Amino acid sequence: MQHQWPIIKVALAAILSFLAVSLLHLDAFSTSALSLGLMGWVFLGALYTQFVEYWCHRVPMHRRVKMLEFIRLSHIQHHRIFHGKNFQINDAAMLEHIPGRYWGFPLLFVLHYAVLVWILAPADCLAFLLGTVLHYLAFEISHWLTHIEDNVVDRAIARLPWLGALRLRQIEHHRIHHEVPEYAFNFNPPYLGDRLAGRMPPKEEPARLRPSGYGGVNPPPVTAIPVTVPAIVVEPRWPHLWQKPFIRYGSVAAASVALVGAVVLAHGVWAHHKNLTPSDQTS
């Protein structure tokens, strides 16, 4: 359980973000039935997140952006750890470098909610945000598994004809990015950002079977020139403090309280505006 804590923490933060917003709009669940329209908003939310994923990866994670340099430096650390033969590892000390910061998605989530709640009906807003959460969870969990060597989930998926092939292509797509960072910025299929921006890996070949690794397949060789990354010794972040349970759980609790407070504040401002009469709004 402790080894899985980095991904559990990230997933819980995203789920709690959505639940916090949903609790403010319980009436939307009672007045809105499941419809194609709501499903469309879920799809649009996931589609939107596909492009946000591409932009966040290509720009702040791979380019120098003023005031966001810490994002790039953290991502460089990720590339240095999971590079070459170490693309997949089982070193528990390095697992926390796989997912993003647990507070990153909730922060963006609250900002989007504060905007969407003004322009969409509550049910449509929740449906759109649900799409963003589902896409984000699919990204973080599958990305986590991609860097875990010989994990049981990928071994099971590899036995499924269609889904296994899709998963193997996803792993290879990301492996190429770690070797040639100029390509494959999207992680989740169908890689829309990469396709539209011409960042799909060149000369991709179908994977060849082999006894072990990558869920039982041998990924094709990278034909482009690999990027040489110097070997470094990476220590876990805050090695002494973060090992204390009350620090780990306390930080998540504090972030959750701050998130709920921000959501309640945004909802209060929105509700106050909605309750104003037309004369009040013009005065």
Q: Left if phi > 0, otherwise alpha if psi is -120 to 50, otherwise beta: which for 219?
A: beta
Q: What angle do CA 114, 260, 268 make, to 5 degrees?
A: 50
Helix axes 122-146 and 104-119, enclosed angle (nearest 10)? 160
DSSP class of residue 261 equals: H
Per-residue pLDDT of the chain (283 residues; tens, 9 = 90+): 568 999 999 999 999 999 999 998 888 766 666 778 889 999 999 999 999 999 999 999 999 998 899 999 999 999 999 988 899 998 888 999 999 999 999 999 999 999 999 999 999 999 999 999 999 999 999 999 999 999 999 999 999 989 999 999 999 999 999 999 999 999 999 999 999 999 998 864 444 323 333 333 333 333 333 334 433 333 444 444 445 555 555 555 565 556 566 666 666 665 656 665 444 544 4
Neighbours of 157 (CB within 10 A): 19
* Nearest-angstrom CA–CA distance, 103 and 2: 19
**Cβ within 8 Å of residue 271, ≥6 positions away:** none
DSSP string over 114-164: HHHHHHS-HHHHHHHHHHHHHHHHHHHHHHHHHTBTT-HHHHHHTTSHHHH
